[in-house]
Structure 1
Amino acid sequence: MVAPEYQGRGIGKAVAEKLLAYAQSRLPPGGRTSVQLIAAGGKEGFYEKLGFRKMPGGGCGFALRRVLHGHPAE
């Protein structure tokens, strides 16, 4: 979470992209995983821009998920 006074500067996006890149790099060839999170209410759009999709529910903010695929086996 980025403090409100620092939002809009690309910090949250950089952190999320770094974490996703790390998860992607750890997949075996042909592997697959998903990254799931619960967004603070009203912040779902930020994650949707990063490729996350809303999941059913949403009691304390929407749950979102992004599926990652490993590179095809050679």
Structure 2
Amino acid sequence: MNLDRTVTLFAGCMVLLSVILTQFVSPYFLWFTVFIGANLIQSSLTGFCPAASIFRKFGIKTGCAFG
């Protein structure tokens, strides 16, 4: 699995987790979903993704998007 797929998998899991937490724990977890969405928008506009930087340090091979 390359870095691009890892980042999108991680983002998807975080969105699902935040929706579950919003439903069952507190509606304030909706802000976590907003944060994830803002990070996705920011990374698409700038090409910088904090999660990609962290995963790269773990040795995951780079893909096309976050090279």
TM > 0.5:
no
More helix by share: 2
Give TM-score, length-normalised by structure 2: 0.36
Larger radius of gyration: 1
More strand by share: 1
